Amino acid sequence: MRCLYLCQELAPYFVEGGLGQAARALPELLHRHHDLDHTLLIPYYPRLVDRQGLRTETVARLSAMTVGGAATVERLVDHDGSCEVFLLRSDRWYDREGIYRDGRYVEFPDAAARAAFYGSAAAQWVRGSGRSYDLVHGNDWQSGPALAHLRHLRGRGGRPALLMNVHNGEYRGDVSPRQAAQLGLPDEFTARLLDKAQGSPSLLLTGLLAADAATTGSPGYARELAEAFAGTALGDALGPLRMEGIVAGVDRKVWDPASPGPLTVPYDGREVTDGKRANKRLLQRRTGLGADPRIPLFAVCARLVPDKGIDLVFAALGPLLTSGRAQLAVVGTGDAEYLKVLADLQDRAPRAVHHTPRFDQELASLVYAGADFTLMPSRVEPCGLNQLIAMAYGTIPLVSAVGGLRDTVTDLRDDPAEGTGFRFAALTSDAVGHTVDHAVRWLAEHPGEVERTRRRAMSHDWSWERTARQTARLYERVVAGG
């Protein structure tokens, strides 16, 4: 089976979060172990390409797009995986500092037009590349226009099967009816979109209307989307697709506590207590946090945005941090208001708070290895990778009971024999604070249970291999028309 994977990110080159990690890991495993010939089509971000010194070669020139002007397709020469990676180059659309947002973390105002260009170019590439794809796997609303064009692909061999992957239904690529008519989609599809949209067209709706099937990051989030979209145009489009929730995985080549890293001391489940103690000492030394092995250390490795419940992190941990009863290590950037609160906290408690305002793979590995807990009071979490990475390092997750967090973290208070973390009873500062206080006492008073829980968390199979097996079965069903 020949598959094309459409995505805006690809780790380690162009990445903002879990989407880029998935684009790196999943097609690789499907390609190598499941007889699925995968190629990827990713935007060419000139500034990121130049910064990393990546080498590319031009393989095609595209000029017949319905919107956005001409482009070239470049093959990524330096890619070290087994899948071919093609980069869609148009400096008009992609010569910017960020992938989705500017330096102030504000979304580019022409985001819908960029997606329309990407969709038209992807369809042109499929038509002209000489490759007969059996399936196209589109990711998030930015792939919606591409699936719409491919839905109406005609000619020898017909069109490929189309799969829409909804990583976060909160981001929909909303457009006005007038903008929808200017996306350059096939006329008959535009008419269908405007007819079905109930006055609220979006590029996510575009993708769902075009797709043969849909998937998302967990069974729990699939149910949440069905409930949230009920009675709307999105719900009407989603219903017939029988969305399948498949939990994403952890790339153990990247996130492996047993492998020596530039900053970390390696350890496995048999020596988790000593390993985490050693890495906690290293983390405190590197970040300037107080050198105290007994103080509970919390990790947040995430985008600092409302969906992640960052305000609840500050509300729950603030008093503990300023009184010296806890420490917080944060890796990530986000909204200006949260960055300011974090900077103020760091000024008030420099020995208790450290923030790295960018994604740093090596430091994040040390944070996971050295932290006692990771805190995730997310309001929306389709899958969640951070809790899976944390558990791989024996770091106990404190999470909200939503989406993939509910599916992957078992509360110790409900099931002491199988528990791997703690879930908040509600998404309020009081509920999060209560769970934080309980976890801090548990850490101090039950060292034997802490060690057993860490080992149990590390033993779970949250690998991409498991995800790939489920995805391969989904591909087969979609291509077969089931």
Exposed e or buried b per residue across 432-458, where buried means at least 16 C-beta atoms within 10 angstroms of its C-beta: bbebbeebbebbeeeeeebeebbebbb
- Check whether residue 124 and residue 203 sit in a common domain: yes
Token pair of 27 as six digits: 């097609």
Q: Is residue 109 in a domain?
A: yes
Q: Is residue 70 in a domain?
A: yes
- Check whether residue 431 and residue 469 sit in a common domain: no
Token pair of 196 as six digits: 């079905």
For residue 252, the model assigns a pLDDT of: 86
- Check whether residue 314 and residue 213 sit in a common domain: no
pLDDT of 482 above 80 = no
CA dihedral 220, 225, 231, 235 (to 10 degrees): -120
For residue 226, the model assigns a pLDDT of: 96
**Number of Cβ within a 10 Å radius of residue 289:** 22
Q: Is residue 256 in a domain?
A: no
The share of the chain scoring above pLDDT 90, in percent, equals 88
Which CA distances in Å does 42 have to 80, 193, 392, 412? 16, 26, 29, 41
- Which amino acid is it at 143? S
- Which amino acid is it at 69? G
* 17 band by pLDDT with thresholds 50, 70 and 90: confident
Q: Is residue 143 in a domain?
A: yes
pLDDT of 317 above 90 = yes
pLDDT of 400 above 80 = yes
Q: Is residue 257 in a domain?
A: no
pLDDT of 51 above 90 = yes
Which CA distances in Å does 230 have to 110, 168, 225, 227? 29, 16, 8, 5
What is the pLDDT averaged over residues 25-45? 95
Domain count for the chain:
2
- Check whether residue 93 and residue 221 sit in a common domain: yes
- Check whether residue 136 and residue 279 sit in a common domain: no
pLDDT of 261 above 90 = no
Q: How far apart are CA 118 and CA 8, in angstroms?
A: 9
What is the pLDDT averaged over residues 132-147? 97
For residue 105, the model assigns a pLDDT of: 81
What is the pLDDT averaged over residues 95-118? 93
Which CA distances in Å does 266 have to 337, 370, 373? 37, 11, 18
For residue 131, the model assigns a pLDDT of: 87
The share of the chain scoring above pLDDT 70, in percent, equals 99
- Name the average pLDDT for the chain: 95
Q: What is the pTM of this model?
A: 0.89
pLDDT of 393 above 80 = yes
Q: How far apart are CA 297 and CA 292, in angstroms?
A: 10
- Which amino acid is it at 67? V
What is the pLDDT averaged over residues 51-75? 93
* 155 band by pLDDT with thresholds 50, 70 and 90: low
Structural domain that includes position 372: 269-461
Q: Is residue 145 in a domain?
A: yes
What is the pLDDT averaged over residues 3-26? 92
* 335 band by pLDDT with thresholds 50, 70 and 90: very high
For residue 383, the model assigns a pLDDT of: 93
* 164 band by pLDDT with thresholds 50, 70 and 90: very high
3-state secondary structure 443-464: HHHCHHHHHHHHHHHHHCCCEH
- Check whether residue 93 and residue 238 sit in a common domain: yes
pLDDT of 74 above 90 = yes
DSSP for 156-216, written as a single string: TT-PPEEEEEES-TT---B--HHHHTTS---HHHHHHHHHHSTT--BHHHHHHHH-SEEEE
104: domain CATH number is: 3.40.50.2000
Which CA distances in Å does 297 have to 171, 209, 326? 32, 46, 6
Read off the pLDDT of residues 344-383 as tens digits, 9 standing for 90 and up: 999 999 999 999 998 888 999 999 999 999 999 999 999 9
Q: How far apart are CA 257 and CA 4, in angstroms?
A: 33
Which CA distances in Å does 113 have to 143, 144, 181, 231, 347? 12, 12, 12, 28, 41
- Check whether residue 420 and residue 457 sit in a common domain: yes
* 157 band by pLDDT with thresholds 50, 70 and 90: low
The DSSP element (H or E) to which 123 belongs, if any, is helix 111-128
- Check whether residue 316 and residue 227 sit in a common domain: no
- Check whether residue 319 and residue 291 sit in a common domain: yes
* 190 band by pLDDT with thresholds 50, 70 and 90: very high
Q: Is residue 261 in a domain?
A: no
* 18 band by pLDDT with thresholds 50, 70 and 90: confident
Q: Is residue 263 in a domain?
A: no
- Check whether residue 435 and residue 470 sit in a common domain: no
**Number of Cβ within a 10 Å radius of residue 381:** 31
- Check whether residue 177 and residue 284 sit in a common domain: no
pLDDT of 156 above 60 = no
Can you point out the beta strands (E) in 234-382? 244-245, 297-301, 327-331, 353-356, 373-376
**Number of Cβ within a 10 Å radius of residue 195:** 10
Q: How far apart are CA 245 and CA 240, in angstroms?
A: 15
- Check whether residue 122 and residue 107 sit in a common domain: yes
For residue 253, the model assigns a pLDDT of: 83
Q: How far apart are CA 86 and CA 44, in angstroms?
A: 9
The DSSP element (H or E) to which 97 belongs, if any, is none
